[in-house]
Amino acid sequence: MAPVHSLKASDLTKLRRVRYPSDLMLDAGEGELAQPSVVFLNQLRTLHKNLTDNYIGQLSPQRIEEMDARLAFCLGLL
């Protein structure tokens, strides 16, 4: 699991300027998220499957491919 955080306008501007390769920026509406958000792929965690029953939405195949590439970078697989 990678943490997903909603962003305020000031946070969004800052993260877009810095552009960490391990962060995946999501626009409002992507994955049915109400606000712009960021997935921190360098902060992976494990959870028991019983704790993952709160479904929000899903990303497009193109965004999944982008996330996979960023995750591979974080794990040193590239």
Q: Does residue 74 surpass a pLDDT of 80?
A: yes
Arithmetic mean of pLDDT, 1-13: 84
Residue 65: per-residue pLDDT: 95
**pLDDT per residue over 8-65, tens digit each?**
878 877 777 877 888 999 999 998 999 999 999 999 999 888 887 777 789 999 999 9
**pLDDT at residue number 11:** 80
Sheet bearing 37-40, strands edge to edge: 4-6, 37-40, 23-26
Q: Which two tokens stand for residue 13?
A: 């501007």
How many of the other CB atoms lie within 10 Å of CB of 35? 14
pLDDT at 63: 95
Structural domains of the chain in order of their starting residue, each with its CATH number: 4-74 (2.30.30.110)
Residue 64, number of CB atoms within 10 A of its CB: 11
Beta bridge partners of 4: 39
Q: What pLDDT is attached to residue 64? A: 94
